[in-house]
């Protein structure tokens, strides 16, 4: 199973762009990269998913280089409400037993 | 719009009690998961199930068991609760296609006294 590595924490200020990079050196051919966001006392929720190149939605952008060994979640113009823990997850294929394992996540603190 | 429901938001139990945490999903997903979350330790996988009556140990199964008698319901059982099992417990449901997302319940904060 691909293991992910991401920074433990990041601080930012309102209006800035936040970029969180996740390393997944052992990613398999069929694996997608998914990012989740978790607020205190809540379960994680899906924010974005990609396989290669760039994906953008109303919340974030996800950049994946050609070798797919890392990915970068970009949060544009963050606000205080973006303070949360962000998890990078390499989705398992059925061949891997569908074992969803989360790493420690990146704690993002947005300051006024 | 509720997709994954955990039976209790807060629970207080005594040491040695048998504790049941229930989770129900309405998305017809094959895969369900139980995690615990403690400060500074992220989400740790306790058990998961990929089909009815099937279960697999996660990373920290000791002291826990699970039951999956119906596709929509996945129960976590603490046979004899201990104070070190005080934690936030999260249930998740996942379709299995690598392009889908996992859905989480709201969590159960269990305190064992």
Assign 3-class secondary structure to chain A: CCCCECCCEEEEECCCCEEEEEECCCCCCCCCEEEEEECCCCCCEEEEEECCEEEECCCCEEEECCCCCEEEEEECCCCHHHCEEEEEEECCCHHHCCCCCCCCCEEEEEEC
Q: What is the CATH number of domain A9-111?
A: 2.60.40.10
- The residues, any chain, with a CB within 8 Å of residue A75's CB and separated by 6 or more, are A17, A18, A19, A20, A59, A60, A82, A108
> Confidence class of residue B97 from pLDDT cuts 50, 70 and 90?
low
Q: What is the mean pLDDT of residues B77-87?
A: 97
Report residue B2 CA to chain centroid gap: 17
Q: Which residue from B56, B98, B106 is facing A43, i.e. has the nearest CB?
A: B106
Output the pLDDT for position B16: 97
What is the residue-averaged pLDDT of chain A?
A: 90
What is the residue-averaged pLDDT of chain B?
A: 92
Output the pLDDT for position A97: 62
Task: Return d(Cα A87, Cα A6) in angstroms, integer.
Answer: 8
Q: Which residue from A93, A101, A104 is facing B98, i.e. has the nearest CB?
A: A93
Output the pLDDT for position B95: 79
Asked if residue B17 lies in contact with residue B77, where contact means CB atoms within 8 angstroms, the answer is no
Top residue of B2, B6, B43 to mutate, by most chain A CBs within 10 Å, is B43
Strand partners, A5: A23
Question: Is the pLDDT at B99 greater than 80, yes or no?
Answer: no
In this structure, what token pair is assigned to residue B38?
A: 């403690």
Instruction: Tell which wins on pLDDT, B43 or B18.
Output: B18
Output the pLDDT for position B41: 82
> Confidence class of residue A49 from pLDDT cuts 50, 70 and 90?
very high
Residues in A touching B59 (Cβ below 8 Å): 101
Neighbours of B44 (CB within 10 A): 17
pLDDT digits (tens, 9 = 90+) for A58-83: 999 999 999 999 999 999 999 999 99
CB contact under 8 A, A34 and B104: no
For domain B25-95, the CATH class is mainly beta
Top residue of A1, A28, A87, A102 to mutate, by most chain B CBs within 10 Å, is A102
Question: Is the pLDDT at A11 greater than 60, yes or no?
Answer: yes
CB contact under 8 A, A49 and B99: yes
pLDDT digits (tens, 9 = 90+) for B25-69: 999 998 999 999 998 788 899 999 989 999 999 999 999 999 999
Asked if residue A10 lies in contact with residue A18, where contact means CB atoms within 8 angstroms, the answer is yes
pLDDT digits (tens, 9 = 90+) for A86-102: 999 887 665 556 678 78
Domain positions in chain A:
9-111
Output the pLDDT for position A3: 80
């Amino acid at each position: 199973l691909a293991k992910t590595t991401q920074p433990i924490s990041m601080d930012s200020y309102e209006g800035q762009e936040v970029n969180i990079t996740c390393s997944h050196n052992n990613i398999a051919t069929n694996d997608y990269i998914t990012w989740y966001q978790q607020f205190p006392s809540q379960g994680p929720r899906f924010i974005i998913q990609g396989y290669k190149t760039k994906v953008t939605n109303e919340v974030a952008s996800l950049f994946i280089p050609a070798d797919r060994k890392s990915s970068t979640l970009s949060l544009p113009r963050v606000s205080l409400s973006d303070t949360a823990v962000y998890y990078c997850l390499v989705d398992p294929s059925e061949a891997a037993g569908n074992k969803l394992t989360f790493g420690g996540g990146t704690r993002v603190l947005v300051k006024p | 719009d509720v997709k994954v429901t955990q039976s209790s938001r807060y629970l207080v139990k005594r040491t040695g009690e048998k504790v049941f945490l229930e989770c129900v999903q309405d998305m017809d997903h094959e895969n369900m998961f139980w995690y615990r979350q403690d400060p500074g330790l992220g989400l740790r996988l306790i058990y998961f199930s990929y089909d009815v009556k099937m279960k697999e140990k996660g990373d920290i199964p000791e002291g826990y068991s699970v039951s999956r008698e119906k596709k929509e319901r996945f129960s976590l059982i603490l046979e004899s609760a201990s104070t070190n099992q005080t934690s936030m417990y999260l249930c998740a449901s996942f379709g299995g296609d690598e392009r889908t997302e996992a859905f989480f319940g709201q969590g159960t904060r269990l305190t064992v006294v």
